[in-house]
Amino acid sequence: MILGFREEAPDPDLIDAIGREEVAGLLWFRSALGETVAEAKARMARVRALWRKGSALFICDEEGGLIQQLSGLIDEEGRPWPRLPSPRALGLAADSRIAFAHGREIGRRMRILGLDATLAPTVDLDPGLESPVLGTRCFGDDPIPVTEMALAWLRGLASAGVRGCVKHYPGHGATRVDSHHTLPRIPASTDFRMHLAPYERIGRLWNDAEGAPPAVLTAHIMADGWGSALPASLDPERIAGIPSGLGPVFTDSLDMGALRPFGDLLARGDLAVRAGSDWIVVGIDRVGGLALARALSPELRRATSHRAAAWLRPRPLPPIPEPWSTEDLLIAAGRGLRLLVDRPIPLGEWDWVLPSGFGAYGVVAAPPCEGDGLRHIARVIRYDGGDPSSLAAALIGRGRPVLVGWAHRGPPDRATLEVLRGNPPAAIAHLLDEPGDRAPIESWTILTCGFGEGEIVALERFWKAHSAPGLASGLPHSGFAD
């Protein structure tokens, strides 16, 4: 049993469950880490000491891009760990050296804190613009380059002494339905061979000398052609079919909406264990997860499959790598930049209208060196990304050319499209995905694949390269902050 952990310290119920050996480990979220690297490291050490011989499995969901827990922690030199580019940016870069460095940097951060494994990378094939669940979390839509990027990323992770986990088996890219809320049902006509190809190739190409083989996280999806009344995460046949060469099996979180038709958490946990899962994960429902942990028999809780035992076997740890250089990180983010519409760019002074954040996923960065509201190339105005009326208010009365940063994901955001049609900006930077329908908005259109420091600075550099004459009109542009 792996439980989600979001608190500063374990409550008495969790401490008791750990003492009774009902919980094998924790899935750490950002809110449990504190503000600094030192604080996060100390918290993990204190919590790990609750387990006999420190035998807990500490994991997190750390992919880069949209899903990252560790960015923003302040290191010993007083600098925040920067957000890392998205898997889609790595896929567009098509450079295995960048993917390796990205994985190594995530592994470096995890080693420093005391985390054992990450539930990444995503090897789902990108299902298209209207997917609300994957998007920039995917390397791409072709299994061969997806495999190449994922293998390089996993090797980088392993070079730091951290284990990985490929997901969401057997392929969440076969559906556009979000299993956090609803059970995806995939037509019988779907050919799963392409979706399975990354798992098969990674299992075949992984060399045990590189580190523990990647584990597998199962998806809460069903296909009519399987002849089963259960989703993949609860289906013995699907789990038995996991390609050889891969490691143990984690469920996706059993409290997700997709599993509502299969009973309460106790029923779902029983089905997952019977199906052959090695670790069952409950990410949000702490009370239900503890009840499920108590309900599992002691024999079942202590049972360890051969693949899980091999995966947990202690291995010599390599030295913690040096950090990924800021410049190389910016290069990686910039490789994900794409120009979608090539039109002449207006020169002169600009307003950049950027969302303040993207839901629970983090703050949208801005060009460096703020002073009196001015950045190197533009005045930055913020709006509430979840409120189209906030964007409309920010666009009214702008006398200078405007770039709008749009943090969009999933089906078309028609309300925001209407605002943009009514107040067409000179440029749009899609910070996550293109709009689901290509609305005729006469704007320069750029895709950054992310909204961290790397993507925004890459966008700034791109902007300078295309509008340098206009900068002579007065805005400062003398350099970049470290």
Confidence (pLDDT) at 375: 55
Of 96, 118, 100, the residue nearest 109 (C-alpha):
118
Distances (CA, A) of 120 to 13, 238, 325, 364, 473: 29, 20, 22, 23, 46
Q: Where in the chain are all domains bearing CATH 3.40.50?
A: 337-471
Tokens of 291: 């009840």
Q: In whole angstroms, what is the distance from residue 138 CA to residue 74 CA?
A: 28
Query: Is the CATH code 3.40.50 the one for domain 337-471?
Result: yes
Confidence (pLDDT) at 119: 98
Confidence (pLDDT) at 132: 73
Q: In whole angstroms, what is the distance from residue 291 CA to residue 293 CA?
A: 5
Q: In whole angstroms, what is the distance from residue 151 CA to residue 261 CA?
A: 35
Rounded to two decimals, the pTM is 0.92
Of 131, 30, 199, the residue nearest 410 (C-alpha):
131
Q: Where in the chain are all domains bearing CATH 3.20.20.300?
A: 2-312
CATH number of 2-312: 3.20.20.300
Q: In whole angstroms, what is the distance from residue 375 CA to residue 377 CA?
A: 6
Confidence (pLDDT) at 437: 55
Confidence (pLDDT) at 380: 87
2 within 8 A of 57, measured Cβ to Cβ: yes
- Rounded (10°) CA dihedral 91, 93, 96, 97: -140
- Residues in contact with 262: Cβ distance below 8 Å, sequence separation at least 6, in sequence order: 230, 231, 234, 268, 271
Of 173, 169, 150, the residue nearest 102 (C-alpha):
150
How does pLDDT run along the chain (482 residues), one tens digit per residue? Answer: 999 999 999 999 999 999 999 999 999 999 999 999 999 999 999 999 999 877 899 999 999 999 999 999 999 999 999 999 999 999 999 999 999 999 999 999 999 999 999 999 999 999 887 677 788 999 999 999 999 999 999 999 999 999 999 999 999 999 988 999 999 999 999 989 999 999 999 999 999 889 999 999 999 999 998 989 999 999 999 999 999 999 999 999 999 999 999 999 999 999 999 999 999 999 999 999 999 999 987 767 666 678 888 898 889 999 999 999 988 998 899 888 887 765 666 667 789 999 998 887 888 988 765 444 445 678 889 999 889 999 999 998 888 889 999 988 877 788 988 999 888 898 889 898 766 555 557 778 888 889 988 898 888 888 777 664 433 333 333 232 22
289 within 8 A of 316, measured Cβ to Cβ: no
Tokens of 119: 């539930």
Confidence (pLDDT) at 473: 36
CA atoms 400, 466, 430, 62: torsion sign: negative
233 within 8 A of 219, measured Cβ to Cβ: yes
End-to-end CA distance of the chain: 43
Confidence (pLDDT) at 316: 92
